[in-house]
Structure 1
Amino acid sequence: MQNMPSKSAILKAMSGEPFKEAAADGFILGGFIWRHALPDPQRAVVIINAATSVRCRHYGRFAAYLFANGFDVITYDYRGIGESRSASIKGLDASWTDWGALDFEAMLKRAQRQFPGQPIDVVGHSFGGCAAGLGESGRVIRRLVTVGAQFAYWRDYAPEQRWRMFGKWHLLMPLLTLLCGYFPGKRLGWLEDTPSGVVRDWSKPAARYEQRPSGRALLEKTGALPFANVGAQTLAISISDDPYGTIAAIERLLGYFSNAQKTHLRIAPQDIGEQQVGHFAFFRSAYQATLWPIALTWLQTGALAPDTPGRQVPRS
């Protein structure tokens, strides 16, 4: 594993510089950037794609860690979330496909413009891994690390929690969205408030992304989903106690990245001396010494270190 930067170096790098960027349709997105003083064609820039309705600030410490280890880093919020929310999102009909094909694509274009000649890598958490395949410019991605990445097909949820999760995300969430015009997740302490189009995509009980409302619209418009544009060295990390990121769920999404070089690493909490990790904890600083080096090493080398915890899932 790589040497850990000092705590003081991490804290010094914590505050990324805020920025605004217009997507192709004119929607103004907000985020943060960590940029070294001098350009270097050997230094990669990493774009971090958030999970559904999780603010990009959640990934700030991880971004600072990557910066302290020699990367330039971009974090951003999808339209309607955090830094990319103006006022009320009632009536904002943004979808998962908008978040990928418009918002993530805008970050790919920004990275190419602001860091010309530098490699572009991506880290995607949960839906953020799916978003990484929806940008038209996906061919520029050199390396991709996903964590618990899937698009919420309910039959892939962990069996012991499946029906509770189905009731929460596929019945209650769309019902509240119908009543409010958006999902009031912040009030419930579940997620950030979420646009209605995203809720329609998430709650649709369909096994294929192109069967989700916005996925179907994209397929009808373009004739093909853009996942095949991504030829990156791809590491999919899944955690065994993540009820969303089961092996079936991770493999379902990986199947769309038909031209990527794929490795699926399955980690149990006990592999790193923990009792539980779950879906959201990977990016918390408590895992800087145990989980973060796995992503760092892959971004640096495109390979796993010999002492990497967990096991590789066989690929058919």
Structure 2
Amino acid sequence: MSGEPEYTQEFIDVDGARIGVQSYPDPDGVPDAPVVVIWPAMGVRARYYRPFAAALRDAGLAVIVADLRGTGESTPLPNRTCRYGYAELAADVGAVLDALKPRLDGRTRVLLGHSLGGQVGVLHQALHDPDRVDGLALVAVGVPWWRGYPGLRGWGVLPYTQGIAATARLLGVWPGWGFGGRQARGVIRDWAYTARTGRFPTLDGVDAEAALRSVRTPVLAVSMDDDQYTPHATLDHLCGKLTAAPVTRHRYAVAEAGAPLDHFTWVRAAAPLAVRVAGFAAGLPRR
């Protein structure tokens, strides 16, 4: 797109998978700029975030975007033999951060997740070395617990999410019919569990809910007006699990963005949000 920066495509091998990583040039005139590492929503390719990357660079931040395992440039393509779920996605975050260490050393690091990418980022902080990053930004993220949706909507969310899970079990993979792109059945299993119970499942023998209570990483939590998948209450529910973390909560409104918003379109109206992320990064302790 015109006016948006080009990126360098890299690949990182992780436990039989290959994670595609897009590294953007550092912002002009900002040596050792804070780095934002973005993890996308379910089924969304890293390149979708190019407008957001441009806005973040304009705000003085370096940007890296990783494709979730099985999406975009990352492999394997989900199929019946894939067994990975949330545990592996969270471990991928740490592997990518380790591989990027030469670029990240000495810089403030913000892990920014959108939707599923935000859940994965939270779980990485809970289950792995939280000191790899200095701040966690959650943008249009939430636990899709059916009871967290307003009015009668939750009564539709419950059968919808569990129907997707049942289909993935039957077929051995979620084909991406109308939602979320093609996904490994383990990812859908864990996602559907959160929708049914409001809790994260036990992952690799670890009580993820208990581990979340130990996270102390500063958090910027931003929900969107008119978000059809993760309305404000779903992010409030997730933030309630981070009892030890300092959380800055913000609702990104249409008036602030200057454009219509929903779970995906905020990416194209993100200049004010990018400034907010830059302010959050500037307030984090320097390495």
- Residue 122 of structure 1 aligns to a residue whose secondary structure is strand
Partner deviation per Cα, 1:274-308 (whole Å, 9 max, x = no partner): 5x42212221x2x1444443333333446xxxxxx
Gap change, CA 1:73 and 1:272, over 3 Å in 2: closer
Whole-angstrom distance in 1 between the partners of 2:29 and 2:213: 30
Map of 1:225 onto structure 2: 211
Match of 1:124 in 2: 113
1:145–1:299: 8 Å Cα contact kept in structure 2? Answer: no
2:56 matches 1:66: yes
- How far apart, in 2, do the equivalents of 1:161 and 1:105 lie? 36
1:98 aligns with 2:88: yes
CA-based RMSD: 2.9
Match of 2:165 among 166, 174, 184: 174
Aligned equivalent of 1:261 = 246
Aligned partners of 2:42 and 2:130: how far apart in 1?
A: 20
Partner AA of 2:166 in structure 1: L
Task: Report if the CA contact (8 A) 2:59-2:275 is conserved.
Answer: no
What residue identity is the alignment partner of 2:265?
A
For residues 293 and 109 of structure 1, what CA distance do their matches in structure 2 show? 27
**Equivalent residue, structure 2, for 1:296:** 278
Tell me which residue corresponds to 1:314. Answer: none
Query: In the alignment, which of 8, 20, 44 is matched to residue 30 of structure 1?
Result: 20
Alpha-carbon separation, structure 2, partners of 1:179 and 1:227? 35
Find the counterpart in structure 2 of residue 306 from structure 1: none
CA distance in 2 between counterparts of 1:16 and 1:249 reads 33
Size of the alignment, in residue pairs?
Answer: 279
Are 1:53 and 1:193, in contact at CA under 8 Å, matched by a contact in 2? yes
Cα 1:121–1:226, aligned 2, differ >3 Å: closer, same or farther? same
Deviation (angstroms), 1:246: 3.4
Quote how far apart the aligned CAs of 1:216 are.
4.4
Deviation at 1:268, TM superposition (A): 3.7
TM-fit CA distance, 1:267: 3.5
Q: Which runs of 5+ in 2 are unaligned?
A: none
Q: Does 1:143 align with 2:128?
A: no
Distance in 1 between residues matched to 2:43 and 2:244, nearest whole Å: 28
Aligned with 2:234: secondary structure? helix
> In 2, distance between residues paired with 1:32 and 1:89?
25
SS of the equivalent of 2:187 reads: helix
Q: Which amino acid aligns with 1:123?
A: L
CA contact (8 A) 1:16 1:34 kept: yes
Which residue identity is paired with 1:143? G
In 2, the alpha carbon distance for the partners of 1:19 and 1:31 equals 5
Q: What TM-score, normalized by structure 1, do the two folds share?
A: 0.77
